[in-house]
A and B are shown apart, each in its own frame.
Chain A
Amino acid sequence: MTVARALRGSYDVAVVGAGPAGLAAAALCARAGLTCVLFDDQPNPGGQIYRAVTNSPFDRGTVLGSDYWRGETLVCAALGGGAHYFSGASVWGLLRENEIAVSLGGSTRQIRATRIILATGSIERPFPIHGWTLPGVMTAGAAQILLKSSALVPTGRTLLAGCGPLLWLLAWQYLNAGVRLHAILDTAPAANWRRALRHAAGFVASPYLAKGLRLMFEVRREVRVVPGVVEIAAEGGGRIEAVIYRTARGRSERLAADMLLLHQGVVPNVNLAMSANIAHRWSEEQLCWVPCVDSYGSTSVPHIAVAGDGAGIAGAEAAEARGRLAAVATIRALKAEFSVGELERAARQSLDRYQRGRAFLDCLYQPALNFRRPRGDTLVCRCEEVTARQVLETAALGCPGPNQMKAFLRCGMGACQGRFCGLTVTELMAEARELPCAEIGYYRLRPPVKPITLAEIATLPADGAAVKAVARE
């Protein structure tokens, strides 16, 4: 499917990310006759939710579940519909007016697009426990990627820990594949149930209810689930050897372990949007930064929209609908003669349906304070190896925010560019300075939002003005 078409210099629309939102947006824009380029940094289309759907090692069996195969239809609609798709294409900057810098096979190209739709999806929420950097400790999302794309499953003593729908889905998929799980350490606080019940009426009408109950029932029947876990630590020399946990009731246990798969929800992948100066807000419901968008995904930057989980977590089906809505607004702006009224109505109907009960899930699986705000020598910044104690002590010195903290600790200045420490730093500083997270703020993000080499920047074609700007007379 990856057609290495020559990249044009300009397009009507550029879509970043080939998950459900990006695929749906690109398909619709192309159908309306707009020239559309679809960039995705992964080797195959589908995003993480439909990862490897076009080259799956599985037949349409029962391991992954039927929802997964929906991705095929989406991919076909986008790629068959005329959008120019580039895999392995890492967009690292939204530069001056409408310019996009994209890294393709080791060299960078700059193109222009009249409109840009960001569909950069979500990333795993940081899960900073003692030992989370040991080899053998991975995210549940990572383990699911190995399953989807390479049919790899864990052997030996495997523990899952955390909370959220993905954790249960992965456990269920492993059972389907015949994998034995040692235990699931459930970290969802019991108090979450009371808060979630206020939103129960919405969730009763959610399409996710029946599916979720079935998954949890089947998993609980087969696997030991330890509820009310409030502390987890991974131990080992060169790799994980054991997991020690403690429950709210004070029970603790040491379990020998070969793999520990962590998950406490996903959060929007905001780096590209933030680097383009799009206004963001702190979401108290989802405890993360989300771009400020209207009901079409339009942002504070006029020509850039954000669609899908990158604009707030709502799931794959909602992402698809939000991708269509971003495309609807784009088509109205660029090709008013193409009628989108009916498409918009259908997209809104689908969005309503899949957003029902989201408030219930947000409350039920809100990760516990203990697992968001680590203490002592637990690493906060994996790249620069900065501990929670260092962050708290620096905040106590009067360091006002995450950007000033960089100068003290290099926290957030490593290769991941804050993606696995930013939320933790915001929350720890908010706590230390007794301020809301919204006031503490986030790292100031700038392009390149992915590390690239100077050699690669040097591959950029230079026009006369660029040469004149730096060359001596």
Chain B
Amino acid sequence: MFQRLTRERELPLTIFIDGTATPARHGDTVAAAMLGSGHVACRTTAVSGTPRGPYCLMGVCFDCLVKIDGDANRQACMTTVRDGMRIETQRGKREYGT
């Protein structure tokens, strides 16, 4: 689990992770905002369905894939948060058309 060294008032943004309002800092990536609010896992794999979470946080491992504003297979560590962004954890492989 992770916590912030900065104080809560410096988290002016709100994003929604599986529907739950979650505070975030300007400049946070989606992965950072998820880890900072207790979401260690962000998807299940397409091969065996086991849970995965962010591993490298620099765009290399593709383990942090999530659905962002309806768009699946997005790298949470490579996407900067925007106010009101809707994040959904991803189950297995991307569904067609998403």
Residues of A within 8 A of B (CB): 41-44, 48, 52, 55, 57, 63, 88, 123-124, 133-139, 141-142, 145-146, 149-156, 177, 238-239, 258-259, 269, 382-385, 414-416, 419-420, 451
| In the complex, the 5 A-B pairs of residues with the closest C-beta atoms, listed nearest first | A135-B53, A415-B62, A142-B57, A135-B41, A150-B32
Query: Measured between alpha carbons, how far is A416 from B45 in the docked complex, in Å?
Result: 14
| Residue among B2, B4, B29, B62 with the highest chain A CB neighbour number at 10 A | B2
List, in ascending order, chain B residues with CB within 8 A of A139's CB.
55-57
Whole-angstrom distance between the Cβ of A270 and the nearest chain B Cβ? 12
Cα distance A153–B35 when bound, in Å? Answer: 10
* Chain A residues in 8 Å Cβ range of B25: 57, 150-151
Pairwise interchain contact A153-B28, C-beta atoms closer than 8 A: no
B20 at the interface (CB under 8 A from A): no
Decide: A414 and B3 in contact? CB cutoff 8 A: no
Question: Can you name 5 A-B residue pairings with CB atoms under 8 Å?
Answer: A63-B5, A146-B36, A149-B27, A177-B5, A419-B61
B85 within 8 A of A: no
Residues of B within 8 A of A (CB): 1-6, 10, 25-29, 32-33, 35-36, 40-42, 45, 47-48, 50-63, 65, 73, 78, 80
CB contact between B1 and one of A63, A155, A238, A420 (< 8 Å): that residue: A155
Is A57 in contact with B60, judged by CB distance below 8 angstroms? no
Task: Report the Cα distance A149→B3, complex, angstroms.
Answer: 13
In the complex where A43-B80, A385-B47 touch, is A152 in contact with B36 (Cβ < 8 A)? yes
CB-defined contacts of B65 to chain A, threshold 8 Å:
415
Q: How long is the Cα–Cα vector from A451 to B94 in the complex, in angstroms?
A: 13
Cα A139 to Cα B73 in complex, Å, equals 21
Contact among B4, B29, B50, B62 for A383, CB-based, below 8 A: B62
Minimal beta-carbon separation of A384 from chain B (angstroms): 6
